[in-house]
Structure 1
Amino acid sequence: MDTIYSLMDAVLPFAWLGSNFMKNAFLAVLLVTPLFGLISTMVVSNRMAFFSDSLGHGAFTGIAIGVLLGSVSPLLSLVVFSVIFALFITYIKNKSTASTDTIIGVFSATAIALGLMIMSHGGGFNKFSSFLIGDILSITPDDLSALAVVFVLGLVAWGLLFNQLLVLSINSSFARSRGIPAFWIESAFASLLAVVVSISIQWVGILII
């Protein structure tokens, strides 16, 4: 990181980059902004804005489970829960005749209520408020490494999924007739979205991509 910091000082000689925590925040923005830009196009095309919002609200429960288990990192439990949460919604959406907004609304309300109930027990809510409110200036070099890994994985997944997602966003029936495994493609994209939201949530708060 020292090499990167020195390069930033040479290329960007601004006073506000004088502190390392500001450099970390700036690097995080450079990593997460293009990733959000890529993913958000398919979020909008596939009418998943409410879905990404529910992932952010479901983070309450993921963090609460980590707190409840004690030895598990809240961030790890958040990522795992978000992926399971996303896959479960995708599965129910494909099996149910109810509208997608109804299904997502039920899961979102249930998750946030359950998370609040668990986290408020024993006064544990304030302890992990940084995960829920977000503070981009709290990013550490380790956090940047994790974000860089997610950035690379996101680009790879995007390259593999884009064409199939584009066809699905236009007409799901046509996509299935062309041999595109709609459920698995949707599940893969939902998992990617869950990971991006959960890994970024402690820095930018409850977000909507």
Structure 2
Amino acid sequence: MAAEIFDSRRQLTTVAIGLPATIAAVVGFVYWLFPPLFDAFWGTTCGAIDTWLVCSTFLQHGFTTGILVGLTAPLVGAYLVNRQMALIGEALAHTAFGGVAIGLFIGSTVEWANYPLLWALLAAAIAALGMQYLAVTTDSYADVPLAIVLTGSFALGVAVISYGDGIAFGREIESYLFGNILFVPFENVQLMVGLALVVLGMVALTHKQLLFITFDREAARLARINVWFYDTVLIVVTALVVVAAMQILGAILVAAMLVVPVAAAMQLTSSFNHGLVLSVIFGEVAVLGGILSSYWLDIATGAAIVLVAIAIYLLAVLGDR
């Protein structure tokens, strides 16, 4: 136990030392390098494919955010599904919705604090750490604590909306609740890029350890791997993905992209690494197919993405048989 505590402190110290430089690099890329790259890519694409679907600024924002969600959500979901932690994504999504409600309420009176996604990120991170604490103290990700966090945070969001006169920001709440591809401002695209870089970096650095504790936690402990530390990394990364995906999928549907592409991939391969790649491919197909389907059929984007993902899963089940 003493060795695990020492290892935890050493890992936390290492992270703390490298964190400022990493944050500075991510912020520099997001705010100075990404905007010209974004304009150059979509300008070239619009010139080659002259259609409203590609040349519309709103859809450019939506496509960019959706592609990043299709990459990061199944990537993180692969670890969650194999550890039977799929409901955590749903709980964090509802917590993030409560954060959005708080952010909109505060932002309606304090202009400089009107950043709902940042409030959602804060709420989801606190909930993630809280659930990790419950997991340690109860030695399991029990359904009861998850249900309490899920329903309680959603109830808090509804209470804040009703107290703050929900009519005043009803359209914004609806977009975060159900998702809206036309409601992604460029600063949210930049936030998504930053979160995606953080998620990809953390998964790349901790993949071996996460894989170990996913399939054999006791062996990981015997190998002096700090299970608590990497559990915390995984759940915090999940919170980042959930907040990023809310603006496209909405709080109600966001957990689907953590689970459904991974479930489809698991039908076709027993290898975790192969399944990881397939999950990302299925996630991207679901996002792009859902966005195009929502345009052609005039239905909600988040719902279309999830329905395409479920169609892929059903095809994978039939293919496996």
TM-score, normalised to structure 2, is 0.60
Unaligned stretches of 5+ residues in structure 2: 1-37, 259-321
> What is the aligned residue count?
209
Contact 1:60 1:116 in 2 (8 A): no
- Structure 1 residues 12 and 48, CA, compared in 2 at 3 Å: closer, same or farther? farther
Which residue matches 2:95? 58
1:111 corresponding residue in structure 2: 153
User: In the alignment, which residue of structure 2 is the partner of 1:129?
Assistant: 174
For residue 167 of structure 1, what is the amino acid of its counterpart? F
Residue from 71, 78, 97 that aligns with 1:41:
78
- Choose 123-132 or 102-111, whichever is displaced more: 123-132
Residues 141 and 123 of structure 1: CA distance in aligned 2, closer, same or farther (over 3 Å): same
Decide whether the 8 Å contact of 1:22 with 1:137 is kept in 2.
yes
After TM superposition, list the pairs within 5 Å mapping 1:80-159 onto structure 2.
Answer: 80-96=122-138, 100-124=142-166, 126=170, 128-159=173-204
Deviations 1:137-170 (A, max 9, x none): 2222222221111111111111112111111111
- d(CA) in 2 for partners of 1:124, 1:15: 33
> How far apart are 1:65 and its partner, in Å?
2.7
CA 22–60 in structure 1, closer or farther in 2 if over 3 Å, else same? closer
For the residue of structure 2 that corresponds to 1:47, the secondary structure is coil
Give 1:15 deviation, angstroms: 4.8
Distance 2:49 2:230 in 1: 41
Q: C-alpha distance in 1, partners of 2:141/2:204? A: 30
Tell me which residue corresponds to 2:116: 74
**Can you list the C-alpha shifts for 1:53-103, whole angstroms capped at 9, x where unaligned?**
111111232123324444332221110010010110011111115652222
Q: Distance in 2 between matches of 1:65 and 1:143?
A: 18
**Alpha-carbon distance in structure 2 between the residues aligned to 1:76 and 1:183:** 26
| Structure 1 residues 120 and 139: CA distance shift in structure 2, 3 A | same
Separation of aligned partners in 2, 1:74 and 1:140: 12
CA distance in 1, matches of 2:40, 2:97: 37
Change (3 A) 1:123 1:38: same
Q: 1:26 is matched with which residue?
A: 63
Q: Find 1:186's aligned residue among 225, 231, 238.
A: 231
**Aligned partners of 2:219, 2:84: CA distance in 1, in Å?**
17
Question: TM-score w.r.t. structure 1 length?
Answer: 0.90
CA distance in 1, matches of 2:124, 2:104: 15
Unmatched tracts of structure 1, length 5 or more: none
Higher relative contact order (CA 8 A, sep 6+): 1
2-structure distance, mates of 1:97, 1:166: 19
Farther off after superposition, 136-145 or 190-199:
136-145
Alignment partner, residue 314 of structure 2: none
Any idea what SS the aligned residue of 2:225 has?
Answer: coil
SS of the aligned residue for 1:179 comes to coil
Q: Does 1:163 align with 2:208?
A: yes
